[in-house]
Amino acid sequence: MERTTAAQLTRQTETEKTIFARRAVRTYKADPVERALIERVLDAGRMAPSAMNRQPWHFYILTDTETIKLFSRQIGAKVFRETLHSGAAALAKGAKEIAGLLHLSHGLDLHAFQDPVFHGAPVVVFITAPRDNEWAPLDIGMCAQNIMLSAQSLGLSSCPVGFGKFVENTPAYERLMIPPSEQVQLSIIIGYSDETPEPHPRRQDNLSFID
């Protein structure tokens, strides 16, 4: 096996450039994403490793703008109801999360009330796995990262949306036709970015070499 040279360490590979360029985007252009591109990034998700190669993921995709808004409003309402039924500490935390969800920390955004969860993205992907698969959260996380890095490399932007799991308790959920044996683990939004987020600082104090 060839050793990595000092010269190689001074330049980023194309894979590294994609990793370092990816951002969580929450403002999208209205431009639709071609179905072939959607299928291509999901193919990258399928290439993720999984426990015992079970490949537990199933993808449910929304691309109709009005349908996405409907799901978004119903999920946002569900999150709000859950918060109201929580204790005082959870309520304060939930209120902060909802404010961030609706962009209220940056002033009133009327667009956010139309699509408070999916931020106007033209593609929403719900990722499910079997309810009895204890390794599913790890597998889905790796699958989702592949999807988002593939999207970045193809000129698309994305963002993982944890609130998507609340879709199971909304009236719109049945429209996804997800069988009872599956559970929504995560949702991802995909589209053409209409913002240029700055990278957040990364911690450098979390590395420990042992021996």
Helical ranges in the chain per DSSP H = 6-9, 14-21, 35-46, 65-84, 88-101, 110-114, 136-153
**Residues above pLDDT 70, as percent of the chain:** 82
**Amino acid 85: pLDDT:** 63
In a domain, 170, yes or no: yes
With H, G, I as helix, E, B as strand and everything else as coil, classify residue 29. Answer: coil
We report the CATH number of the domain holding residue 33 as 3.40.109.10
How many CA atoms does the CB half-sphere of 27 hold within 13 Å?
7
Section 36-48 average pLDDT: 98
In a domain, 86, yes or no: yes
**Amino acid 102: pLDDT:** 55
How many whole angstroms separate alpha carbon 33 and alpha carbon 13? 27
The string of pLDDT tens digits covering residues 108-126 is 444 556 899 999 999 999 9
In a domain, 7, yes or no: no
**Cross-sheet strand order for the sheet of 157-161:** 58-62, 123-130, 182-191, 157-161
**Amino acid 29: pLDDT:** 97
In a domain, 9, yes or no: no
CB-count burial class (<10 Å; 0-12, 13-18, 19+) for 6: exposed
How many whole angstroms separate alpha carbon 72 and alpha carbon 61? 14
User: Tokens 């209205």, residue?
Assistant: 30
In a domain, 206, yes or no: no
Structure tokens that stand for 184 in this block? 């929504």
In a domain, 8, yes or no: no
More confident residue, 108 or 158: 158
pLDDT band at 105 (very low <50, low <70, confident <90, very high): very low
Residue 172 has pLDDT above 60, yes or no: yes
Whole-prediction pTM? 0.85
More confident residue, 106 or 125: 125
Q: Into how many domains does the chain fold?
A: 1
**Amino acid 9: pLDDT:** 74
The string of pLDDT tens digits covering residues 78-94 is 887 776 666 555 555 55
Section 33-46 average pLDDT: 98
In a domain, 94, yes or no: yes
In a domain, 69, yes or no: yes
Residue pair 18/153 in contact (Cβ under 8 Å)? The answer is yes
Structure tokens that stand for 180 in this block? 């009872």
Nearest in space to 45 (alpha carbons), one of 194, 192, 158 = 158
**Domain, as residue range, for 59:** 22-191
How many whole angstroms separate alpha carbon 116 and alpha carbon 71? 10
